[in-house]
Structure 1
Amino acid sequence: MKYKIKLNDVVKIIYGKDKGKIGKIIKIKNNFVFVENVKLVKKHVKPSPNLNRVGGIIYIESKIHISNVTLIK
């Protein structure tokens, strides 16, 4: 199925825990989208001296099926 949603479009979540939230699409992968500051999940990361990264718990966006968002004009 072909969807009209593209990168950097503003969308509204129409189904799920985050229903009603609005955000910008930051990534599209197969039939899933990643929306900025929506459906945040915790990720535990180890420190890495090669990447100059400290360890700890970070919040990242999780995927949402493209049929659960609608385009806002």
Structure 2
Amino acid sequence: MYGEFSLYGVYLPTLLAVMAAAYGVKSLVRFALGKTHFYAWVWHPALFNLAVYVLAVAGVLALLPEVARG
């Protein structure tokens, strides 16, 4: 597992921080694609956004150092 970290004495799973960071990345990508009118070419924007979020989670996990992975 990925372990946990302490935030003011409350232990939170590392995956929570990874998912929060991925949500920020996904929000930036969604904003950029919305400004360029990319969603006019996408068949199902909600499904596309979910796929971008899953890719962002995988990307953030890949950037974690080996020590944090457990």
TM-score (norm 2): 0.31
Higher share of residues assigned helix? 2
Give the structure with the larger strand fraction.
1
TM-score (norm 1): 0.30
